[in-house]
């Protein structure tokens, strides 16, 4: 099973991909996490992309493609969920070509639909564990009390001016990707509002309907 989770920043892709990982035993490939790791390690890739990320823009297509392709290859082209990739039509075309070459096409691209109001609320209240990448909402899903509070931080790109830029980037560059996958017959649209577990149940129903995947 090969899935991609699609949606604007704050749609819940990260949270839901981790829940689906648990449910179906799939691996998650989050290009955002791979990029944040490169930045925090100060690697040459990290230095190249840092400014784009903090300004709320996208990392150049070829750099993200290489990261994603490497991660997909390490998983032998199967049993993965892409979180936040592809984000441009060019990335989408490259991904389809890459997977076709390994006879490993995507089963579905699941688009999480959320209103702007919900996005702003989620991003401004989002905090992450800087070691595990786990994501929390200060009101609805606060960090557990047994986690060292110094590990819980706000992402730099969740600052209000970055959020505005990211939403603009999404509308301009990423939203058209939805049409690309709709035309390819791969798009599954899901209501991404409400409680985390309600949304997850909707996702599970849809993933089970897609094929042979069983919950673990
Ligand atoms: P995310 O954690 O998915 O919100 O990603 C954080 C940031 O990493 C994004 O705002 C982009 O700057 C960068 N990024 C992640 N995935 C991609 C991608 N597929 N294409 C370009 N930039 C990306």
Closest ligand 1 atom to Cα of 88? 20
Domains delineated in the chain: 2-114+174-215 (3.40.50.300)
d(CA 67, CA 120): 28
Closest ligand 1 atom to Cα of 49? 12
Using the mean position of ligand 1's atoms as its centre, give its distance from the Cα of residue 212 in Å: 31
Check 2, 36, 65, 155 and give the catalytic one: 155
CA 3 to chain centre: 11
Could you tell me the pTM of the whole model? 0.91
Per-position pLDDT tens, the chain of length 216:
999 999 999 999 999 999 999 999 999 999 999 999 999 999 999 999 999 998 889 999 999 999 999 999 999 999 999 999 999 999 999 999 999 999 999 999 999 999 989 999 999 999 999 888 888 999 988 999 999 999 999 998 898 888 999 999 999 999 999 999 999 999 999 999 999 999 999 999 999 988 755 555
The residue whose CA has the least distance to atom 8 of ligand 1 is 32
């Amino acid at each position: 099973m090969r899935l991609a989770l699609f949606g604007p920043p704050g749609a819940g892709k990260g949270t839901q991909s981790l829940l689906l990982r648990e449910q179906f035993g799939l691996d998650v490939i989050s290009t955002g996490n791979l990029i944040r790791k490169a930045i925090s390690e100060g690697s040459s890739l990290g230095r190249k992309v840092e400014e784009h990320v903090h300004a709320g823009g996208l990392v150049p297509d070829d750099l993200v493609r290489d990261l994603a392709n490497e991660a997909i290859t390490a998983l032998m082209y199967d049993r993965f969920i892409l979180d936040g990739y592809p984000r441009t039509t060019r990335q989408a075309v490259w991904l389809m070509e890459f997977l076709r070459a390994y006879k490993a096409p995507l089963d579905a691209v699941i688009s999480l639909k959320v209103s702007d109001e919900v996005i702003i609320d989620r991003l401004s209240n989002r905090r992450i564990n800087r070691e595990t990448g786990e994501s929390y909402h200060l009101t609805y899903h606060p960090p557990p009390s047994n986690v060292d509070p110094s590990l819980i931080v706000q992402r730099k790109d969740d600052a209000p001016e970055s959020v505005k830029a990211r939403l603009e980037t999404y509308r301009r560059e990423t939203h058209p990707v939805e049409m690309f996958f709709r035309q390819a017959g791969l798009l599954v649209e899901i209501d991404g509002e409400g409680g985390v577990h309600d949304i997850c149940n909707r996702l599970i129903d849809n993933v089970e309907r897609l094929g042979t995947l069983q919950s673990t």
